[in-house]
Structure 1
Amino acid sequence: MPQHDFDVIILTDSRYINPSAPGAYVQNVLTEDRIVKEALQGYGLKVERKDWADPDFNWSTTKAVLFRTTWDYFNRFDEFKSWMENTSPKTHFINSEELIRWNMDKRYLDDLSREGISVIPTRYLNRGNGMSVHEIHKITGWKDTVIKPTVGGAGRHTYRIGQQNIDTVAQKLESVMLEEDFMLQPFQESVITSGEWSFVFFGETFSHAVLKRAKPGDFRVQDDFGGTVHEYTPRQNEIQFAHRALQACPNLPAYARVDMVLNNSGELAVSELELIEPELWFRLKPDAAQLLAEEVVKHIS
């Protein structure tokens, strides 16, 4: 058996390695990674945090890498893919490389739909195909929509489109759409009226849920845009719906976040399935880190 210096490396990005004066946002990252690290160490594991892009670290010296706060990967996507190709033969990925590659591109929503999971209707615009924002609206007949890249996060290049701003958004995205694939969805009114729920699972076990709300006048629930997070006690049918989405994955994730809303017909629908580097709000429920640690142990034992 090969000798390893570490059992688990918790993956983050350079902004969260020894920040000089962390504000509240960065402090949440540090706090949650500390909670996870301590839970893993409670199993006697040797654990460290590293920037995924650290050029000096030898990834073969750790049994596993746990993707946590690699929140710059979608801005460095080609670099991240190359890093994965070079690193995956050297260590074990948690979640698995198959799941990460599947979950990178939001076309996975089509796979969920084929498995009978209700998702938000989506049309895809491949980069450089010449189809404009105006044309895809004419094809779908959708009047109030949201457009965003198929690979992305933190609300990057995400816009709500209506008749009053379609020309402006089309102009903003014209050059970007030559370089990236995009997706268009009808806007779901419940995002404003009810918010978006996130359900956190570790393996088959449901852990906790939160309700995310956009600030008044916005539709983006991310805290980057003033969104707020609230503890939420879910109904059993909501947990069951989220669990069915989990079972539609290519394999069972060690950790997963199922984001869902009420669609415009008033039914539950998956908005996103986060399997790479989701925020899991351990600061709201520190005990959940124990469930994650149990799953990590299963994957490396």
Structure 2
Amino acid sequence: MGPRIDLLMPVAGSHYDAVATDLAEPFRAAFAAAGMTLTPRPWDLGPGDGDATLALFAWGYHFDVARWDAMLTAWPANRPLFNPPALLAWNTRKTYLLELAAAGVPIVPSHFGHADAGSIAAAFKAFDCDELVVKPQISAGSHQTVRVRRGDAVDPLDDAILQPFLPAIAKEGELSLFAIGGHFSHAARKVATGGDFRIQPQFGGRFTRYD
């Protein structure tokens, strides 16, 4: 019997559950072809008894950040988790963008803080743009992510990120680069459809291989 891999999935019954289950099927087949058993496991159950764990579909953590943080903190050192718990914890809060910028990595201009009428007006002025994107610092799947035009009313949001809207996102999509073992593996292009700017499957977004 080959290696047994636990695949972290959304909490059972959540609105991400069905989408993730469908997307996970090709992975199960590919792992089986390589002699490995891939077993779905809701992330809120914590570590399973597999030889390793893949956090590929651990969606919905932003709805229960305290439990997510606690799980990562308590993750047993003898049960490999990919990516490692410390990296997943760092990636949970989009304030990691500040660290990347400090290290010289180009990022979209960003304001971190409370989103309200005053901060949004200041962001329009600072970024010299006609549209903004406002989203929580802890979010996934475009949850509570809104596109704002000058004069639009926006619900106040604590711990937000304000960024200029980049038209290329809606027209060309975005690229995700994947590295395995520190080496580039492949890239995927994510494109929105139907006039939306959100590229996730639940909004009709399409993912294709990018060569």
**If the length of structure 2 is used for normalisation, what is the TM-score?**
0.81
Q: Which residue of 1 aligns with 2:6?
A: 9
Q: Partners of 1:201 and 1:118 in 2: how far apart? A: 19
Structure 1 segment 123-162 matched on structure 2, within 5 A: 123-126=111-114, 132-162=119-149
CA displacement, residues 36-55 of structure 1 (integer Å, 9 cap, x when unaligned):
5426x62xx6653311212x
Structure 1 outlier segments of 4+, above 6 Å: none
Aligned length: 207
Unaligned runs of 5+ in 1: 1-5, 234-301
Q: Partners of 2:57 and 2:190 in 1: how far apart? A: 19
Larger relative contact order, structure 1 or 2 (CA cutoff 8 Å, min sep 6): 1
Cα distance, 1:82 vs. partner?
A: 1.8
Q: Which residue of 1 aligns with 2:96?
A: 108
Q: Partners of 2:51 and 2:209 in 1: how far apart? A: 34
Q: Partners of 1:192 and 1:124 in 2: how far apart? A: 23
Cα distance, 1:231 vs. partner?
A: 2.9
Structure 1 segment 192-203 matched on structure 2, within 5 A: 192-203=170-181
Moved more, 193-202 or 7-16: 7-16
The 3 A distance-change label for structure 1 pair 60 and 12 is closer
Q: Which residue of 2 aligns with 1:51?
A: 42
The 3 A distance-change label for structure 1 pair 36 and 105 is farther
Q: Which residue of 1 aligns with 2:23?
A: 29
Contact 2:194–2:204 at 8 Å: present in 1 too?
Answer: no
CA displacement, residues 20-67 of structure 1 (integer Å, 9 cap, x when unaligned):
xx96x355323134135426x62xx6653311212xx7x474443221
Q: Percent identity?
A: 24
Give the alignment partner of residue 185 of structure 2, picking from 207, 221, 228. Answer: 207
Give the alignment partner of residue 183 of structure 1, picking from 149, 153, 161. Answer: 161
Unaligned runs of 5+ in 2: none
Q: Which residue of 1 aligns with 2:81?
A: 93
Q: Which residue of 2 aligns with 1:255?
A: none
Contact 1:199–1:208 at 8 Å: present in 2 too?
Answer: yes
**If the length of structure 1 is used for normalisation, what is the TM-score?**
0.59
Q: Which residue identity does 1:13 align to in structure 2?
A: P
Contact 2:130–2:149 at 8 Å: present in 1 too?
Answer: yes
Considering fraction of residues, name the structure with more strand: 2
